């Protein structure tokens, strides 16, 4: 109790009695009162002055959960250490305490009541696409290009996570990637820095809201700083070597946007960047992030990335790794046991200045104050709220809405889609059509398996047709399906169920085939060198096609796939990603035309793996594709340069036309663009109008196209709307190789349309 009083005095907050949530009768300061920066800084400084060196370092230490139902798994040595460390005040944060408020409260109680200063713990979790209510994976959500809806869905995820006692998410992942082999593309916003920045801001503000101390918001984390998405050959954790121009113009923008949106934390990464691991990279963390960008929050390492600097060949042992990391600006150590064991000695030996520790601790404590954890360490531990908020109908509606918006129609020959609602014999084929877990995708750690609505269940709701299902083939070897982190065993040989599927297809009017990836074929450590349909699915597709060509191929996957055969032969193709718990309902509604698809690809689909990296905003080269037919130009001799489906591409059940592109000067370095968009089809639909620029001659060569504006517009048949874009210095300039943002006068081409191949063009001269 004595320690508890110390804590009360320190924070200037008075509880009437023992601090369980139910017993707190009055908080002497309202959250708005304690929110001003000066006020918080004063409190942080007061607290810091009372902390021993070891307690300060404790704040910089983060451990993963260790709490069994009955307590801190005492038989496990590691758990016992963690428990002891909390009591000593040597743990600033815990991650992966996902069991809910009872566990959070139990751990918090040790920190608050048993440690000398009673500093509350901040609880972190990977809320990547929902906490309990699992929505579409981030790459899918990004395909909606619906920034408002993304923000709203993120707010829901924050509210649910906060109700489970979580204060901080390791999201959004804002890594730009041009390599679909990299499994983590499922977690991000795709390949484009402009779209990626908009999504980053939406997700940061969705998680954090206007008041971090409210019980429905959590701190966000922009990760992985930086360039992790450029891992060589798409192989997870691999080396990254990226030049200054790409770093400043492609990699950094979403991180910078997240900083400007007030993101409270950053995570560094597993990768090295140009020879220096991100975790020990002072240029990234001190010069750019905390220096140039003025970031006030704190940086957490990635899981054990501090000690991995030894394997990188950068630090000779954990002690040196700690020295390099703290000097480079890594404020919190996730699960390396490096800071907690090494930093105190480094300070005592005069190798690391205590002021560096103070700076890191202040950053961490500030976020804890902003979260209101000092005001009431149990404010996120309300059983009743957890019960009421978990899985709310509003959340379910939100994930269904987003799931529909995420779907991208890739091909629809002869209007095979939408399906007729009556008198059709429909064959549904594919193990993924009847899979209640794969649609949940990877990174749904607190989600329950077997909770997705399957495509079969979704389609069964349409009772006007006769619907029959055949698996066709297992995607994974039966009974090998397991949760993370074990690799899944793909069925590469067993075709014994083909016969039944072929027979069914033969007697059906239309065949819907759901093919793609298992949830654990994308995500962390799930790089693939061949990104075609895994296992025997391609063979199944071709076998069914032999007996019935009326196939609607529904793809469910976590990354762009190479499907050139399907593109050539299958009349209708729907990219449905992994859409979360409402997956089957969303897919059925799109197939039956109750929702007109409007998604657009946030990442290029290659024709084959050899084209990777392939991305729309590439440079022209000295011998571009347009030169002539001779041999000596930039191309392959065995595949076209163009992708299978471009960035920004996606069809609708209606059609749109763009006309009257007008470009006017709107003032100094300001260009006004307008275009008339018309729905030329028969049904209402949404279109993402996209604007691309090409700065034709510059002191550093510019990409052939760069997205610089987009608008999601809904139009009734025959309706026309004028879409207006304004280009300012923010859109017209770029970073030079000294990282200065410059706007150069000169000629620009401008393209407006429904994808990155838009043909409608104009130009202007920037004076």
Q: Which residues are catalytic?
A: 302
What is the token pair recorded at 182?
């990299």
Distance CA(55)–CA(62), nearest Å, equals 13
Minimum distance, C-beta of residue 65 to ligand BGC, in the bound complex (Å)? 11
Asked if 562 and 606 touch (Cβ cutoff 8 Å), the reply is yes
Sign of CA dihedral 50, 54, 58, 60: positive
Residue number, nearest CB to ligand BGC: 170
Minimum distance, C-beta of residue 446 to ligand BGC, in the bound complex (Å)? 12
Judged by CB under 6 A, does residue 524 bind ligand BGC? yes
Compose the 438-467 pattern: x for residues touching ligand BGC by CB under 6 A, - for all others.
------------------------------
Judged by CB under 6 A, does residue 223 bind ligand BGC? yes
Concatenated DSSP letters of 613-674: S--TT----SS-TTS-SSS-SS--SSS-SS-SB-TT--B-SS-EEEEEEEEEEEETTEEEEE
Distances in whole angstroms, Cα of residue 95 to Cα of each of 70, 247, 301, 476: 19, 30, 13, 31
Residue 221 or 428 having the CB closest to ligand BGC: 221
Q: Of residues 24, 79, 126, 156, which one binds ligand BGC by CB under 6 A?
A: 126
Residue positions counted in the chain:
767
Minimum distance, C-beta of residue 491 to ligand BGC, in the bound complex (Å)? 28
Q: Which residue has the tokens 């204060």?
A: 167
Helix (H) or strand (E) holding 704: none
Residue 208 or 604 having the CB closest to ligand BGC: 208
Contact partners, residue 19, CB within 8 Å, separation at least 6: 4, 112, 113, 376, 377, 378
Asked if 711 and 674 touch (Cβ cutoff 8 Å), the reply is no
Residue 119 or 124 having the CB closest to ligand BGC: 124
Tell the burial category of 681 from Cβ atoms under 10 Å away from its Cβ (0-12, 13-18, 19+). middle
Sign of CA dihedral 143, 146, 151, 155: negative
Minimum distance, C-beta of residue 389 to ligand BGC, in the bound complex (Å)? 23
Minimum distance, C-beta of residue 371 to ligand BGC, in the bound complex (Å)? 18
Residue 308 or 323 having the CB closest to ligand BGC: 308
Judged by CB under 6 A, does residue 376 bind ligand BGC? no
Contact partners, residue 33, CB within 8 Å, separation at least 6: 39
Tell which positions 582-611 bind ligand BGC, by CB under 6 A: none
Distances in whole angstroms, Cα of residue 440 to Cα of each of 37, 520, 562: 40, 10, 22
Residue 126 or 474 having the CB closest to ligand BGC: 126
Minimum distance, C-beta of residue 442 to ligand BGC, in the bound complex (Å)? 11
Smallest CA-to-CA distance from 264 within 325, 331, 190, 177 is with 331
What is the token pair recorded at 122?
């901040």
Smallest CA-to-CA distance from 508 within 429, 427, 564 is with 427
Residue 223 or 256 having the CB closest to ligand BGC: 223
Q: Which residue has the tokens 């084929």?
A: 429
Task: Give the alpha-carbon dihedral of 643, 646, 649, 655, to 10 degrees.
Answer: -60
Asked if 379 and 124 touch (Cβ cutoff 8 Å), the reply is no
Minimum distance, C-beta of residue 223 to ligand BGC, in the bound complex (Å)? 6
- The conformation of residue 454, written as its DSSP 8-state character, comes to P
Residue 138 or 709 having the CB closest to ligand BGC: 138
Minimum distance, C-beta of residue 166 to ligand BGC, in the bound complex (Å)? 13
Distances in whole angstroms, Cα of residue 325 to Cα of each of 48, 54, 240, 306: 21, 17, 18, 7
Residue 517 or 524 having the CB closest to ligand BGC: 524
Helix (DSSP H) and strand (DSSP E) numbers for the chain: 24, 25
Smallest CA-to-CA distance from 296 within 42, 56, 63, 41 is with 41
Tell which positions 294-353 bind ligand BGC, by CB under 6 A: 302-303
Q: How far is CA 668 from the centre of its chain?
A: 37
Concatenated DSSP letters of 10-42: HHT---SSS--GGG----SS-HHHH-SHHHHHH
Minimum distance, C-beta of residue 170 to ligand BGC, in the bound complex (Å)? 3
Judged by CB under 6 A, does residue 131 bind ligand BGC? no
Asked if 124 and 335 touch (Cβ cutoff 8 Å), the reply is no
Judged by CB under 6 A, does residue 170 bind ligand BGC? yes
Minimum distance, C-beta of residue 697 to ligand BGC, in the bound complex (Å)? 40
Minimum distance, C-beta of residue 196 to ligand BGC, in the bound complex (Å)? 16
Residue 205 or 268 having the CB closest to ligand BGC: 268
Residue 126 or 333 having the CB closest to ligand BGC: 126
What is the size of the binding site for ligand BGC (CB under 6 A)?
Answer: 7
HEC string of 297-319 equals CEEECCCCCCCHHHHHCCCCCHH
Distance CA(221)–CA(203), nearest Å, equals 10
Task: Kindly list the residues in this chain that would bind ligand BGC in the complex (CB under 6 A).
Answer: 95, 126, 170, 223, 302-303, 524
């Amino acid at each position: 109790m004595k320690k508890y009083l110390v804590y009360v005095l320190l924070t200037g907050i008075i509880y009437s009695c023992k601090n369980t949530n139910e017993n707190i009768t009055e908080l002497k300061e309202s959250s708005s009162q304690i929110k001003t920066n000066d006020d918080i800084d004063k409190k942080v400084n007061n607290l810091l002055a009372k902390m021993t060196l070891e307690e300060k370092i404790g704040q910089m230490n983060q451990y993963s959960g260790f709490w069994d139902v009955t307590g801190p798994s005492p038989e496990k040595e590691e758990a016992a250490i963690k428990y002891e460390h909390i009591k000593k005040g040597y743990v600033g944060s815990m991650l992966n305490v996902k069991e809910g408020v009872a566990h959070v409260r139990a751990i918090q109680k040790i920190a608050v009541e048993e440690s000398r200063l009673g500093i509350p713990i901040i609880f972190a979790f990977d809320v990547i696409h929902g906490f309990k209510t699992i929505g579409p994976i981030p790459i899918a959500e990004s395909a909606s290009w619906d920034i408002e809806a993304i923000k709203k869905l993120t707010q829901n995820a924050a509210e649910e996570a906060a109700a489970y006692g979580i204060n901080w998410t390791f999201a959004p992942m804002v890594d730009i990637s041009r390599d679909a082999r990299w499994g983590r593309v499922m977690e991000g916003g795709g390949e484009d820095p402009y779209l990626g920045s908009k999504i980053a801001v939406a997700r940061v503000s969705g998680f954090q809201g206007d008041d971090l101390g409210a019980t429905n918001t959590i701190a966000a984390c922009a990760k992985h700083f930086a360039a992790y998405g450029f891992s060589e050959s798409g192989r997870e954790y691999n080396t990254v070597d990226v030049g200054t121009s790409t770093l400043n113009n492609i990699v950094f923008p979403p991180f910078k946007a997240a900083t400007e949106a007030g993101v409270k934390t950053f995570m560094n990464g597993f990768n090295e960047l140009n020879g220096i691991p991100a975790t020990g990279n002072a240029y990234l963390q001190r010069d750019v992030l905390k220096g140039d960008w003025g970031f006030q929050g704190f940086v957490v390492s990635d899981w054990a990335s501090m000690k991995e600097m030894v394997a990188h060949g950068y630090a000779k042992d954990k002690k040196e790794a700690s020295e390099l990391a703290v000097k480079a600006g890594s404020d919190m150590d996730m699960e390396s046991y490096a800071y907690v064991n090494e930093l105190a000695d480094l300070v005592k030996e005069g190798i690391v200045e205590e002021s560096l520790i103070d700076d890191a601790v202040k950053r961490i404590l500030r976020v804890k104050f902003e979260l209101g954890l000092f005001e009431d360490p149990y404010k996120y531990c309300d059983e009743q709220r957890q019960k009421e908020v978990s899985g709310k109908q509003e959340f379910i509606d939100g994930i269904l809405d987003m799931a529909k918006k995420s779907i991208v129609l890739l091909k629809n020959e002869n209007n095979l889609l939408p399906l007729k609602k009556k008198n059709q014999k429909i064959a549904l084929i594919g193990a993924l059509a009847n899979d209640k877990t794969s649609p949940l995708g990877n990174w749904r750690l607190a989600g329950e398996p077997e909770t997705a609505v399957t495509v079969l269940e979704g389609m069964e709701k349409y009772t006007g047709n006769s619907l029959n299902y055949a698996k066709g083939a297992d995607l994974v070897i039966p009974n090998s399906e397991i949760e993370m982190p074990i690799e899944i065993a793909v069925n590469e040989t067993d075709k014994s169920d083909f016969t039944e599927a072929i027979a069914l297809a033969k007697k059906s009017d239309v065949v819907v085939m759901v093919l793609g990836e298992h949830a654990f074929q994308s995500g962390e450590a799930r790089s693939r060198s061949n990104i075609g349909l895994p296992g025997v699915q391609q063979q199944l597709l071709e076998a069914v096609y032999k007996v019935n060509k009326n196939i609607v191929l529904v793809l469910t996957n976590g990354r762009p796939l190479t499907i050139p055969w399907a593109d050539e032969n299958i009349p209708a193709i729907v990219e449905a990603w992994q859409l979360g718990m409402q997956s089957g309902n969303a897919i059925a509604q799109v197939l039956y035309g109750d929702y007109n698809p409007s998604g657009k690809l946030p990442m290029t689909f290659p024709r084959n793996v050899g084209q990777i990296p392939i991305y729309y905003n590439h440079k022209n080269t000295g011998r571009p594709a347009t030169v002539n037919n001779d041999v000596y130009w930039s191309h392959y001799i065995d595949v076209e340069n163009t992708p299978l489906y471009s960035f920004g591409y996606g069809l609708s059940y209606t059609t749109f036309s763009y006309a009257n592109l007008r470009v006017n000067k709107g003032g100094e370095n300001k260009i006004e663009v307008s275009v008339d968009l018309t729905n030329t089809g028969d049904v209402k639909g949404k279109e993402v109008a996209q604007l691309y620029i090409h700065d034709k001659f510059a002191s550093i060569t510019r990409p052939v196209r760069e997205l610089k504006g987009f608008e999601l517009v809904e139009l009734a048949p025959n309706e026309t709307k004028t879409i207006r874009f304004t280009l300012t210095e923010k859109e017209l300039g770029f970073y030079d190789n000294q990282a200065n943002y410059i706007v150069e006068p000169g000629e620009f081409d401008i393209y407006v349309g429904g994808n990155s191949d838009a043909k409608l063009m104009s130009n202007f001269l920037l004076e």
